[in-house]
A and B are shown apart, each in its own frame.
Chain A
Amino acid sequence: MPFNYTIAVIAIPLFMFLFLGLAGVKMSRKLTGVLGVLGMLVTTVLAYGVALTYFFGTGQGQVVDGVRQAITVWNPDWLSFTKTLVVRMGIMLDPIAAMMLVVITTVSFMVHLYSLGYMSDHHGNAEKGFQRYYAFLALFTFSMLGLVVATNLFQIFIFFEMVGVSSYLLIGFYYTSPAANHASKKAFIVTRLADFFFLVGIMILSYYSGSFDFDTLVFGSNHANSLEVAQSIIGNPGVATFMGCSAMTWALTFIFIGGAGKSAMYPLHIWLPDAMEGPTPVSALIHAATMVVAGVFLVARLFPLYVVCQAAMDVILVVGAFTAFYAAAIACVQSDIKRALAFSTISQIAFMMTSLAVSSADGALIEIHEGYGLGYMASMFHLFTHAMFKALLFLCAGAIIHAVHSNENSDMHGLHKYMPITSIAFLIGCLAIAGIPPFAGFWSKDEILVACYNKGLGWGIWMTMVAGLTAFYMFRIYFLIFFWNKHEVHTEHEPKDQPWTMTLPLIILAVISIVAGFVPAHNMVTWDGGHLHTQLDWTVAGTSVLVALVGIGLAFKMYYKENPLPERMASSCRGLWTAAYKRFYMDELYQFITHKVIFQGICKPIAWFDRAIIDGFMNMLAVGTQHAAYGVRRLQSGSIQGYVVVYFLGALLLAVITLICVLVF
């Protein structure tokens, strides 16, 4: 098989993790870093090789009837639940897996490289745990790669957990900081909650379908299988429905919740902004480009099942569309640039989710028509482009933070003069995300909007509006960082462009952000592996560009130079502004539920119950026996006559009772 070496793509990061984790302590920082980067470089090269071979190769069985086939490279049993229900650990390549390989390795490599500079010092002090950092990065890369090449649902679940824990470890990298500590915990627990639903979904799905394998679930001969599976679950009268929905709907909804946790969909998004406590490169890699799209990837992976289950799709649509707007609205008022970017990420991922959800526009089950699957393609395309420009934005932000030692945009302002390269790179990123042609974001976002309009005019307008909002808040950030006012130098040395290890990735990513839009995604990442005929819908594109420009213009007006307009606007609707700034109090709500309801209301009472009632009962038995022992001591009075009374009465009583028993019975 030409793809056998794919295993190396997975294995190298794993090896790097073990090697750096175990032996790293004994090595110098520099060596560790270089080894990590080199390892990642090899991985990246191999991954590119795999992806190129997959998309453009013409090996046997690779393309059948113009449809790219999913290729299972390697699939040994890992854990047998029953003879038939087996978890396998394998590597499967299909369009989106191949695309994800590229995305992950690219961004990961950039981040590895970037971190050489970024992590060398922390607020001026030599960074501790450099080796640990690289080990964790490798672990994350491994987990994420394992996730995308999964051959079955359970493998995805396994790597879901793995990326979760890598993310936990990296967010909590500065473990002495309480905020990081708290954030990492929060991230893990929230995603864990989502994973619980994911697990339940898997249980339901695997029970009815009897398999975890995508081969059975979604990649049967020409997808007929997934339809069969779906039909057998929905159509089988013996299968229980619960609260009016079929088992299938429940399963897919639960699985979506699992994905939503990772992808920070409302209301499970609360961990992502906090996750920005981690090192900025980590945010770029995990919380912008790769891990957070795992949910999207999951839904995409099971897309053929979702297609036949409109109810679940509707859930995704509503959640996605709402989250897109909600996050964008919050992003407009954040002052911490990483948080703002985080909400932007949430919003963008919601775009992808929405796009997936509108994909089966008319709810047709079987009939494949023009435009069907457009959303899917657009979503994947956007995933790809977004990864690039969002990574770019985050790395830029990292460079800025590294320069000024602060996350607050009030500490920045006017940096354009000091950091021109960073400024231009950031601008490119902003243009890309705002959807200005010919930057990458334009192409992908445009197709999403088309798909939304296909679904319904309302959805289209809504998403267009969000797109405009996106342009606004991105440029708000941009202007606030680089213009607005003269920079006040707080630290002893002036901010400047960072060393080449950090700048080079910016440049590379900026270039990719410019050109990525021209990747022929409609030929590559379609849901069935075939070609999809798309053309630019000028009405939609024009509208969206217009809206974006309006947004940019507004941002320019408000934030290019220091002026009281933003303040006035904020005070004119103070309540709304504060609510948005406080992220609509979702964190407080969670805080209330976890602390007041669960901790104080459930855990404490249970602990009390355990000590006082259960344990108390056991102690009561013991104490009761002791008391009884004390109580009977009077019987032993020490007097002979007392003994004899007991003796004689005892004998008589024995006789009398037996007598009565014999007489009565």
Chain B
Amino acid sequence: MNLTLLMYLIPSIIMFGCGVYGFLTRKNMIAIMISLELMLNSVDINFVVFNRFLFPGQFEGMFFTLFAIAIAAAETALALAIIINVFRAIKNVDINQINKLKF
């Protein structure tokens, strides 16, 4: 049995799917943020796997992942800050309650 590229992509895709599912179904904003982390993480896996399997010798995918982690960290920090900001106003983190602006 060989470990091929596609085999590594399967968990990545599933992780992404889980992220999407979580984003769409969770009510807790922090849980949604966690789902987003899953999605970002799956992207990272993609890059790494492509790089390692298809284009060894140059490390663009690897570096992308490296920076993506940094970006993800920044995003998470900001997002959590905003969640807490909202929490201060409405005293919970239920995403269904932030729909005053619509239509």
Contacts and interface: CB of A to CB of B under 8 A. Distances in A.
B20 A639 contact: no
Interface of A: 633, 636-641, 644-645, 648
Contacts of B98: 640
A637 B102 contact: yes
Nearest to B102: A638
A638 B100 contact: yes
B24 A639 contact: no
A645 B21 CA distance: 10
B23 A639 contact: no
B96 interface: yes
Given A644-B23, A648-B20, A638 B95 contact: no
B99 interface: yes
Contacts of B95: 639-641
Interface of B: 20, 23-25, 32, 95-96, 98-103
A641 B23 contact: yes
Contacts of B99: 637-640
Contacts of A637: 99, 102
Contacts of A644: 23-24
A72 B56 CA distance: 109
A326 to B, nearest CB: 77
Given A640-B95, A640-B98, A641-B95, A633 B24 contact: no
Contact of A638 (B20, B23, B24, B103): B103
A369 B101 CA distance: 104
22 contacts: A633-B103, A636-B102, A636-B103, A637-B102, A638-B99, A638-B100, A638-B101, A638-B102, A638-B103, A639-B95, A639-B96, A639-B99, A639-B102, A640-B95, A640-B98, A641-B23, A641-B24, A641-B25, A641-B95, A644-B23, A645-B24, A648-B20
A292 B84 CA distance: 100
A639 B96 CA distance: 7
Contacts of B32: 640
A628 to B, nearest CB: 14
Question: Lowest 3 A-B CB distances belong to which pairs?
Answer: A638-B102, A638-B99, A633-B103
A340 B16 CA distance: 105
B19 to A, nearest CB: 11
Contacts of B101: 638
Nearest to A640: B95
Given A637-B99, A641-B24, 10 more contacts: A633-B103, A636-B103, A637-B102, A638-B101, A639-B95, A639-B99, A640-B95, A641-B95, A644-B23, A644-B24
B76 to A, nearest CB: 17
B21 to A, nearest CB: 11
Contacts of A645: 24
A638 B24 CA distance: 14
Contacts of A639: 95-96, 99, 102
A640 B86 CA distance: 14
A517 to B, nearest CB: 97
